[in-house]
Amino acid sequence: CGLSNLTSIDIPSNVTSIGNSSFEGCTSLTSIDIPSNVTSIGNRSFAGCTSLTSIDIPNKVTSIGNSTFSGCSSLTSITIPNSVTKIGNFAFYECSSLTSITIPNNVTSIGKETFYKCSSLTSVTIGSSVNYIATDAFNYCPELANIVVNSNNGVFNSKNKCNAIIFTSENKLIKGGKNTIIPSDVRIIGEYTLLSLNHYQQ
């Protein structure tokens, strides 16, 4: 971003797409109003916006691109609408101030290292349609203590530190930690699935 002193911006209401790296590196940007007509947000659109504290994504957006909010270290809250079906790789990588996230029911996949090093993340709610979580999606999240999965099989609630999570063929999540039970319907266990997060803490 060539305008390093830019603190806020109003995007015209007729804009329907935000291109790749549009606001990348705007380190002074604290707020932005995305018009309701926007349907797509490109890769790295807000990457490195270290002063951005919150953002609302319009209801017409269907996917969050790769590294869209990567490095937004001051981002404490974000609203993901039900229209979103895919969250890309590294989308919230190193959003170290993000404390909770709700993934809507229409999202079907969570990309690689999506919430990697979200060191303040304590609570995650995952929608009922998610059937794939990529490698290291929640790695380096030492404070993650509560995961709620709204699935057809009921609600999963982890009250203890969640060191690892894996998906089963029936869209159920289980917790890795002191007492790990792997259901008989598990078909694939991904790389580093049960590698304790404590291994990474310095």
Per residue in 121-175, pLDDT (tens digit) is 888 888 877 777 777 788 788 787 666 665 543 333 333 333 344 444 344 444 4
* Per-residue confidence (pLDDT) for residue 191, from 0 to 100: 53
* Per-residue confidence (pLDDT) for residue 89, from 0 to 100: 94
On the question of pLDDT at 38 being above 70, the answer is: yes
- Report the percentage of the chain scoring pLDDT > 70: 69
pLDDT-derived band at 199 (thresholds 50, 70, 90) equals very low
* Summary mean pLDDT of the chain: 76
On the question of pLDDT at 113 being above 80, the answer is: yes
Q: Report, as an integer, the average pLDDT of 44-52.
A: 95
Quote the pTM value.
Answer: 0.77
pLDDT-derived band at 83 (thresholds 50, 70, 90) equals very high
Q: How far apart are the first and last CA of the chain?
A: 33
Contact in structure between 173 and 143 (CB atoms under 8 Å): no
Categorise residue 136: left if φ over 0, alpha if ψ from -120 to 50, beta otherwise.
Answer: left
Determine how β-strand 123-126 pairs with β-strand 173-176: unpaired
Contact in structure between 164 and 139 (CB atoms under 8 Å): no
Non-local CB neighbours of 179 within 8 Å, separated by 6+ positions: none
